[in-house]
């Protein structure tokens, strides 16, 4: 019984896998960039749909007359707390439209 309780506690501390969807965050047609984001809490282990992200970026780029997009960077920002003890994070990924 004690062993089962310890394992359950460790599983809770390790975090749980959560599936996240990309959301439109920002875009700039003049610089041909698209930024997508998702948010997750402190003990979550986020899994995102990579194909969904590039698909969203390509769709926006196509609207602007560009046939493709490629990933150029990613940033993670604390939006609740401090970087040392953050309760909620936002991941922002940037794509550049290409011909």
Predicted pLDDT at 71:
96
Q: Which residues contact 45 (CB under 8 A, 6 or more apart)?
A: 14, 15, 16, 17, 18
Full-model pTM: 0.81
Predicted pLDDT at 25:
97
pLDDT tens across 27-78, in order?
999 999 999 999 999 999 999 999 999 999 999 999 999 999 999 999 999 9
Distance CA 67, CA 87 (A): 38
Residue 21, judged by CB atoms within 10 A of its CB (0-12, 13-18, 19+), counts as: exposed
């Amino acid at each position: 019984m004690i062993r089962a309780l310890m394992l359950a506690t460790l599983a809770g501390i390790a975090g749980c896998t959560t599936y996240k969807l990309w959301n439109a965050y920002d875009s700039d047609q003049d610089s041909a960039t698209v930024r997508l984001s998702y948010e997750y809490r402190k003990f979550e282990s986020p899994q995102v749909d990579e194909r969904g992200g590039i698909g969203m970026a390509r769709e926006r780029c196509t609207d602007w007359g560009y046939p493709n997009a490629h990933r150029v960077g990613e940033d993670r920002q604390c939006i609740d707390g401090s970087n040392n003890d953050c309760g909620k994070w936002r991941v922002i990924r940037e794509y550049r439209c290409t011909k």
